Amino acid sequence: MEDLPPNPLREGLLAARRPEPLTFVLFGGGGDLSHRKIAPALYNLAVDRLLPDQFAVVGVSRQEWDDAAFRKEMAEGIVTNSRRQPVDQTIWSALAEDLHYVSGDFSDPATYRRLGKALADLPAGGNRLYYLATPPQFYGDIVRGIGTIKRGDGFSRVVVEKPFGRDLDSARRLNGAIHQVFAEEEVYRIDHYLGKETVQNVLVFRFANSIFEPVWNRNYIDQVQITAAESIGIESRASYYEGAGAMRDMLQNHILQLLCLTAMEPPGDFSPDAVRDEKVKVLRTIRPVERADMVRGQYTAGWAGGERVPGYRQESGVAPDSGTETMVAARLAVDNWRWQGVPFYVRAGKRFPKRVTEIAVVFRPAPHLPWRGATDELRPNAILIRVQPDEGITLSFGAKVPGQAVRIRSVDMDFVQGTSFTADAPEAYERLLLDAMTGVPTLFTRHDEVETAWSLLAGVLDRNGGPVEPYEAGSWGPPTAEALTARDGRYWRRP
C-alpha cells in the first residue's frame, strides 16, 4: 500500500503494532463472511495505518471473476458494512490496488497451481496468511492444496473459522490434516467472540481490580448465567444451520469461551500459552453434559419485532420434519475448588424476544436482613457483563427508596463502553486479523482446547441430547428450559 498521511486522532496514543510485509490469501473471497466482515476489517485496519507497508490480498473462490470484479465485491462489502462511513476514497483506492483474484474449485489441483503462480509474482514478501472463510466441508481440500504450494521465505499461517469439526472425532481428523501442512503454532482457530472488547474486558475486570477477585468464588457466588440470544431466525443460512444447530453453532464455541473467561484462574502473565493453559484447565474440570441437564428447542411460528414470522420448519431450505435445534439450554458444573457447587446455566437460541449476549454473576443473598417486609423489590446482588449490544458492565445492589418508610429496592450502577471512552472501538475481526498478522495467538483456540470442548458434548450431540421441543418465536424457549433452573430453586434472568 502507498504510505498514507499521519492520522492526527492517533497522536499521543500508544504505538500500535504493525505487521511485517505479507500476502493475505482469502479462500471464500466471494462469500458472505468476506463481504460482511473481512472486507470492512481490512479497510478499517488501513484507515488506522495498521496494514503492512507491503501488503497484498489474493481472493480465491469459485466465482468466475477477475481482479476488477473482486475489487467491486470488496468495495460493496465496505460501503455496506464498515463502521466508518462514508468510505475514504483515497484509502480505498490505495487498498484496492493490492487486491487480486484467482478463480477455481477448492478441490481442483489446478486452482493451487494458479494460486502459487500468483503468489510468486507478488512483491509483498515471503510471509503468507491463509484465511479459510469457507464452509467447513472445504477445509481439508484447501489445506491439502496449500500444502502443494511452495512456501515463501517467511512465515506461513492459517486462520480457520468455526465450527472446527462436528464432533470430537472429526475435530481430531481435521487437526491431523492441518498438522500435515502447518505446525500448531501456525494455526489460528478463530472465534470472533474473543475479539469483542467486552469479552476481553472480562479478564481486566477480574484481574486488574482487587475488589472483585476476592469474592469471585463459591463462598460468595450463587450461580452464573450466560445468555446468547438472537431475535432473528436463520435467514439464508439453512444449508449451514441444518447441519450445525445451536449446539455446534453456539454452545461448543462461543458459550464455552465465555464460561472459560468467567471461571479461569489468574494466569501468571498475559502470554498466549499462559492464558490458553488456564482456559483448558477450566474445560477439563467441567463434567461432561448429560441429557438430564440439557434442553433442546426449535422455534415455531410466532411474533418477532411486531411481525408474524414462520417457524423453523417453514424456513426456505429446511426439511419439513427437521430435528435441528434452534435453541439449547444446559446446566454445567465446574468441579474445582473455586466453583464447587455453583451451577453455570447457559442458553443460546434464535427467535428469542431480543438480541442480547450477557454474563450474569449472581451473588448469594445477605445472611440476615433486619428490615422485615421492606425488601420485596430487592434482588440478589449481581454483576452483569453485556457483550452485545450496548457493551458494558452493570453492578446491581440494594438501596433505600427515598421517603419516610424504609423500602429497599435493587438499583444499577453502569459502565457503558461507548460513553466511557471516546475511542471508536474496533470490530472483533479487526483485532483478530491484526493478531493473526502479527503472530499473537492469545485470542485464538488451541487444538487441545477445541478437542476438550467437543468431549464435553459427546454424549448429547444430535438426538442423544433429548427431543427437540417446540417454542413460539418471540419467547425465551420451551417450558422445560425454565424447569432446568426451577428444579434448583432458581430462575432465568430476563435480560
Half-sphere exposure of residue 49: CA atoms within 13 angstroms, side-chain side: 12
Cell 510485509 appears where?
A: 21
CA distances from 409 to 297, 303, 361, 468 (A): 35, 33, 19, 39
Strands 307-309, 327-333: pairing is: unpaired
Cell of 273: 500459552
Pairing relationship of beta strands 128-132 and 294-300 according to DSSP bridges: unpaired
Q: Which of the residues 35, 100, 192, 254 is marked catalytic?
A: 254
254 is catalytic: yes
**b/e burial code for range 448-468 (CB count within 10 A of at least 16 → b):** bbbbbbbbbbeebbeeebbeb
Q: Which three cell numbers stand for residue 209?
A: 481490580
In this structure, the number of other CB atoms found within 10 A of the CB of residue 159 comes to 24
Kindly write down the DSSP assignment for every residue of 332-388, as one continuous string. EEB-STTTTT-EEEEEEESS-SS-EEEEEEEEPPPS---STTS-TBPPPPEEEEEEE
Q: For the CA atoms of 207, 208, 214, 217, what is the dihedral angle to 10 degrees? A: -30
Q: What are phi and psi of 144, to 5 degrees?
A: -60, -40
For 495, how many CA atoms within 13 A lie in the half-sphere containing its CB? 29
Query: Phi and psi of 334, rounded to 5°?
Result: -100, 110
CB-CB contact of 213 with 348 (8 Å): no
185 Cα distance to chain centroid: 21
The residue written with cell numbers 493490492 in the block is: 98
Euclidean distance between CA atoms 277 and 282, whole angstroms: 9
The Cβ of residue 208 has, within 10 Å, a number of other Cβ atoms equal to 10
* Beta strand 408-416 pairing with 392-400: antiparallel
Those residues with Cβ within 8 angstroms of residue 169's Cβ, 6 or more apart along the chain or in another chain: none
Do 456 and 289 meet the contact criterion of CB atoms below 8 Å apart? Answer: yes
Cell of 23: 500476502
Beta 156-160 vs 187-189: how paired, if at all?
parallel
DSSP assignment of 77-106: HHHHH-SS-S--HHHHHHHHTTEEEEE--T
Q: CA 301, CA 309: separation in Å to the nearest integer?
A: 6
CB 66 within 8 A of CB 99: no
Query: Cα–Cα distance between 179 and 285 in angstroms, integer?
Result: 27
Instruction: Show which residues are catalytic.
Output: 254
